[in-house]
Amino acid sequence: MLTANDPSRKSWINVPANSDFPIQNIPFGVFMANDDHISIGTRIGDTAIDLAAMHQLGYFEGISLPEDVFLQDTINDFITLGKPTVRQVRNRIAEVFDVKNESLQKQADHKEVILFAVEDLQMLMPVFIQDYTDFYSSREHATNVGVMFRGKDNALMPNWLHLPVGYHGRSSSIVVSGENIRRPMGQIMPKDADKPIFSASKRMDFELEMAFITTDGKSLGERINIDEAEDYLFGMVIFNDWSARDLQKWEYVPLGPFLGKNFGSSISPWVVTFDALEPYRTERPAQNNPEPLPYLQCPTNTAYDIKLEVFLQPEGGEENRISESNHKYLYWTLVQQLAHHTVNGCNINAGDMMASGTISGPNPENYGSMLELSWSGTKPLKLSDGSERTFIEDGDTIIMRAYCDNGEQRIGFGEVRSKILPAQ
């Protein structure tokens, strides 16, 4: 039972209007308080909640939890307890912070060690990512990039409508929001040249993505069928998959993404559970032409209505919204991605991260990368300070935000924010 999702519930903690974190969200993250205390926590409004302290003070009594499960620097052990236990914990948190519940509300000494202002905390990487996969599941994005890299006649490769294309990326260069990213150096093939040069990337880009985090999967050799795939989806974060387009274009044949991608990806710090996203299910795009093979066929309500925004903020300037998209535009759904990923017997583990691929929508304002927004540098974007951008410049900060709003309730992911530093 998802009692934590009850839209009528109010918290005794103040929740600002339009907050991404009402009591119906209850995401999980890892924070550092007072420069040295690391704990797993959640958040209501602008108040962070130390789950280790809550556990120590007995607020999770009756739920089978190891003593130190929240005194960790990642949520992997917590995820490993399984979705039913995580569900019990979310429900209990909702209960304790319900305005009608006075157990903690009236305990000043307990509140002192459990509650923190989020502005006083440093958010850390929430999860140890053993393996990272990047899909390529937006038909609009794949088509746009295909047109630019290979021409209109070869835009979508022959396999694209039959399987969720993906590749294995580099998990250890995924960082949390707030960490800056250095512009990469590498090989570039200048237009009309006959040999490459070594240079700082001149086509630095973001990719607007979201990533899901898995629970423990099955043993190597066993597959996760599509009708059970949801049992293995834990939660989601916003994912900015930094890309150096000039490095990428020269190096990607025949094995795909490498140095144009592996210098960094950034994620938002709060992991929003699929339980919390349940009210925001929506219809996926039709898949009739062609129909996928049976192992990839899934119900139509397996997409999520998550509004996505990208902002570019020049050094010392203001935020400019440069894109708005939606997670529901993805052609291949998350259950299809996971079923395909494991259909050959590939194993997955708690904390694996699977990114969606750039999420572009049908119209130019829905494009999820500078490559598409500026159409490979041919259509510069105008910013509010009068300057123009085709790609990202040094000192620019890219901010991505994501939230769901069904008219009755809004929950969200907060943001992922990072600045591009000059090449070294």
Binding residues for Ca ion, rule: CB under 5 A, are: 134, 207, 241
Q: CB-wise, 131 or 405, nearer to Ca ion?
A: 131
Task: Count CA atoms closer than 13 A to 288's CA, side-chain side.
Answer: 1
Q: How far is the CB of 148 from Ca ion (least distance, A)?
A: 15
Smallest Cα–Cα separation from 126: which of 205, 73, 86?
73
Q: CB-wise, 134 or 251, nearer to Ca ion?
A: 134
Q: How far is the CB of 357 from Ca ion (least distance, A)?
A: 5
Q: Residue 320: in which H helix or E strand, if any?
A: strand 320-326
How many whole angstroms separate alpha carbon 194 and alpha carbon 196? 7
How many whole angstroms separate alpha carbon 269 and alpha carbon 126? 6
Gyration radius of the chain's alpha carbons:
22
Q: How far is the CB of 349 from Ca ion (least distance, A)?
A: 21
Beta carbons within 10 angstroms of residue 49's beta carbon:
24
Sequence-distant (≥ 6) Cβ neighbours of residue 157 within 8 angstroms: 146, 165
Q: Determine the length of the chain.
A: 424
| 3-class secondary structure, 143 | helix
Smallest Cα–Cα separation from 332: which of 324, 323, 341?
341
The answer to whether 51 and 70 have CB atoms below 8 angstroms apart is yes
Smallest Cα–Cα separation from 141: which of 132, 133, 149?
149
Q: CB-wise, 205 or 275, nearer to Ca ion?
A: 205
Per the annotation, the verdict on 141 as an active-site residue is yes
Q: How far is the CB of 135 from Ca ion (least distance, A)?
A: 8
Q: CB-wise, 55 or 261, nearer to Ca ion?
A: 261
Beta carbons within 10 angstroms of residue 171's beta carbon:
18
Taking the alpha carbons of 404, 409, 413, 418 in that order, is the dihedral positive or negative?
A: positive
Q: Which residue is nearest to Ca ion (CB)?
A: 241
The answer to whether 60 and 95 have CB atoms below 8 angstroms apart is no
Tell me the two tokens of residue 3. 């009692």
- Choosing from 55, 141, 340, 341, the catalytic residue is 141
- What are the catalytic residues? 141
